[in-house]
Amino acid sequence: MISYIGKRMIAVIPIVLFATLVTFALIHISPVDPAEAYLTAAHIYPTPEILEQKRHEFGLDQPLLTQYMQTLQRISRLDFGTSYLTNKPVWDEVKVRLPATAELALSSMLLSIVVSIPLGVLAAIRKNGWIDMLSRGVSYVGASIPQFWLGYLLIFFFSVRLDLLPVEGRGTWQHLVLPTLTLSFVLIALYTRLLRSSVLEQLQETYVQYARTRGIRERIIMLKHVLKIAIAPLITGMGMNLGKLLTGTIIVEQVFSWPGFGRYFVEAIFNRDIPVIQCYVFLAACLFIVCNLLVDLVHLYMDPRISAKGRAER
């Protein structure tokens, strides 16, 4: 098992390197020169001399390979340069904003788990019953409604009409409610359907029939046997979505004026704040890789046959 984990960890290195290479390449093939982007963001008119000066300052007059190596060195020290817009180190700016985004992502993840597990299981047990219909409705709406629109709807009803919750901002638990609902709605839709079908699949298995003939109570069969296996695809889904959530809060942060990482990134895109974009893409790549690894490790933990298989193959 340890060697499996070790192997997976080593495999992360080339993927991260590839991510840095792609980011580096994307910035260099973009039609806008980073030095010009800097000056535009700072509202400075790009005269040829000042462009030249900035290009030299940013090392853009160096050969591409040197530039890439320097980028790698800097990234390894978590130095993503200075934001063109604020003139502050990017990593410092990101560090301040990450907790807000993490808070939103985790609360959404938690809410989606709390709602979708019972809903998915009940929908499978009471197939075609009203709860199944409800879960189908939720999934249908959740999968098709654009997040920003759902955000507006929630603000309109709960804040403007009913005056129950704040429209925007962060600070109290009330501020967390609407953005969490907005973000988790699509997850609930996804997880409920996933769990429903995987529970239904397991219910067809012979071990369930065997358990039933042994006279084990239905609830015990469900909790101790079926759910344990049926939950595996859900864990995969959640793992993949955690990365997506941490990077995908952009729209929700924008709508609810949530002072997080996503909103910072949107502003960076509009201003071509390249160091920030580079940092964001790099972190997003790392997050996805780590989440992927975590999912695999959880699977390994739940089903030791995976590592046994690995050993057998060796």
Partner 1 sequence: MSVRHRKTTTLMLVAILLLSVILGCAKQEDTPASTSMNGAANEKSITLSWPRDIGTMNPHVYNPSQLFAQSMIYEPLVSYKQGGKLEPALAESWTISKDGKTYTFKLRKGVKFSDGTPFNAAIVKKNFDAIMKNDKTHSWLGVVGVLDKTEVVDDSTFRLTLKEPYYPVLQDLSVVRPFRFLGEAGFPDDGDTSKGIKKPVGTGPWMLDEYKQDEYATFKRNPNYWGTAPKVDKIIVKIIPDSETRVMAFEKGDLDLIYGEGVISLDAFKQLRDTDKYVTKLSDPVGTRSLLLNSSNPKLSDLRVRLALQHGFNKQAMVEGVTSGLEEKADTVLSKNYPYTNVDLQPVGYDVEKSKALLDEAGWKLPAGGTVREKDGQQLDFELIFDKTDPIQKAMAETIQAEWGELGVKVNLTGLELTVQIKRLRSNQFDLYFWYNYGAPYDPHSFINVIAKKSFGISEVLSALPMKKNLDQQVHEALSSTDETKRQELYASILKTLQEQSAIVPISYIKKTAVYQKKITNFVFPANRDENPFDGIEIGK
Beta bridge partner(s), residue 82: 89
Least Cα distance to 176 among 117, 106, 118, 242 occurs for 106
Among 45, 144, 214, 215, binds partner 1 (CB under 8 A): 45
Closest Cα partner for 199 from 227, 237, 163? 227
Q: Please give the helix or strand (H or E) that residue 311 lies within, else none.
A: helix 305-313
CA distance linking residue 187 with residue 192, whole number of Å = 8
Query: Closest approach of Cβ 255 to partner 1, in Å?
Result: 5
> In the set 67, 159, 197, 236, which binds partner 1 (CB under 8 A)?
159
Phi/psi region, residue 127 (left: phi>0; alpha: psi -120 to 50; beta: rest), is beta
Residue with tokens 């049926």: 230
Which residue among 62, 197, 236, 254 contacts partner 1 (CB under 8 A)? 254
Task: Among 110, 114, 133, 308, indicate the residue that binds partner 1 (CB under 8 A).
Answer: 110
Residue placing its CB nearer to partner 1 in the complex, 40 or 197: 40
Question: By C-beta, is 196 or 272 nearer to partner 1?
Answer: 272
Candidate residues 79, 132, 267, 296; the one interacting with partner 1 per rule CB under 8 A: 267
> Which residues, 6 or more positions from 278, have their beta carbon under 8 angstroms from its beta carbon?
23, 24, 27, 71, 80, 81
Interface stretch with partner 1, choices 8-16, 132-140, 266-274, 284-292 (CB under 8 A): 266-274
Tokens of 181: 């609902």
By CB under 8 A, the residues from 160 to 189 that bind partner 1 are 160, 163, 166-173, 176
Nearest distance in Å: CB 215, partner 1: 22
Q: What are the structure tokens assigned to 108, written together?
A: 């959404």
- If you search the block for the tokens 């920003």, which residue do you land on? 148
Radius of gyration for the alpha carbons in the chain, expressed in angstroms and rounded: 24
What single-letter DSSP state applies at residue 169?
-
Binding residue (CB under 8 A) for partner 1 from 23, 90, 97, 179: 97
> What's the angle, vertex CA 103, arms to CA 101 and CA 109, rounded to 5?
100
Nearer to partner 1, 46 or 310 (CB): 46
β-bridge partners, 89: 82
Q: Counting contacts by CB under 8 A, is residue 35 touching partner 1?
A: no
**156 makes contact with partner 1 (CB under 8 A):** yes
> Residues 6 or more apart from 118 whose CB is under 8 A from it?
none
Least spacing, CB of residue 236 vs partner 1, in Å: 17
Q: Is 102 in the site for partner 1 (CB under 8 A)?
A: yes
Which of 53, 66, 70, 209 contacts partner 1 by CB under 8 A?
A: 53
Contact set for partner 1, span 194-253 (CB under 8 A): none
Q: Site for partner 1 (CB under 8 A): which residue of 99, 118, 129, 137?
A: 99
Q: Residues interacting with partner 1, by CB under 8 A?
A: 31-32, 36-37, 40-47, 49-50, 53, 85-87, 96-97, 99-100, 102-103, 106-107, 110, 152, 155-156, 159-160, 163, 166-173, 176, 254-257, 259, 263-264, 266-267, 270-272, 301
